[in-house]
Amino acid sequence: MAKKDLTLITPQQATEIRAEINHLEKMLQADRRSRSPKIQDEAEFMAEIKKKKDILEKHAPRQLRGKSKDKAWKRVKELDSFIQEHMPRKRDYYMRPTDGGVNDFERAVQQQMAFQKNPQIQKAVQERKYWMGRLEPQDPTVRNIENLRR
């Protein structure tokens, strides 16, 4: 995958940013019509609006369609199997210390810590979250990898 920022904002965050941009633009228009303008540095104010628009452009998820959607689903399936292979099992991770002994619980905790620290796994998790955000942008819960735990 090409090196790029994989961070996507949620639809709610995109809505909030659009509202902020709208509010700032209205403030600027009102200030320009005012006899005593309050905005001292209009260029800085415009830069703030541009920064918010850039965030929307770069990080707002756009739903995939057609062949790119099929390729993304295939990649997600590959990532899912890789992540599941390394992810500690639900029965081990959620085991009470009295069920399997403290040693089994400690082993499960160590496995989870190793899972969370492994850079390859974290890269796969981040990529999966990105693709799921592109495939289902209206549902932020699909990005959660806990659904993959066996």
DSSP 8-state secondary structure symbol assigned to residue 36: S
Backbone angles phi, psi at 33, to 5 degrees: -80, -20
In the block, tokens 């492994």 appear at 118
pLDDT digits (tens, 9 = 90+) for 72-106: 999 999 999 999 888 877 776 665 656 555 566 67
Whether the predicted pLDDT of 1 surpasses 60: no
- More confident: 93 or 59: 59
- The residue whose two tokens read 């099929």 is 70
pLDDT band at 38 (very low <50, low <70, confident <90, very high): confident
CA atoms within 13 A on the CB side of 62: 6
In the chain, where the domains are located = 11-59, 66-148
Backbone angles phi and psi of 48, in degrees to 5:
-65, -40
Q: What is the pLDDT of residue 62?
A: 79
Q: Whole-angstrom Cα distance, residue 72 to residue 89?
A: 26
pLDDT of res. 16: 93
pLDDT of 51 > 90? The answer is yes
Average pLDDT rounded to a whole number, residues 113-125: 90
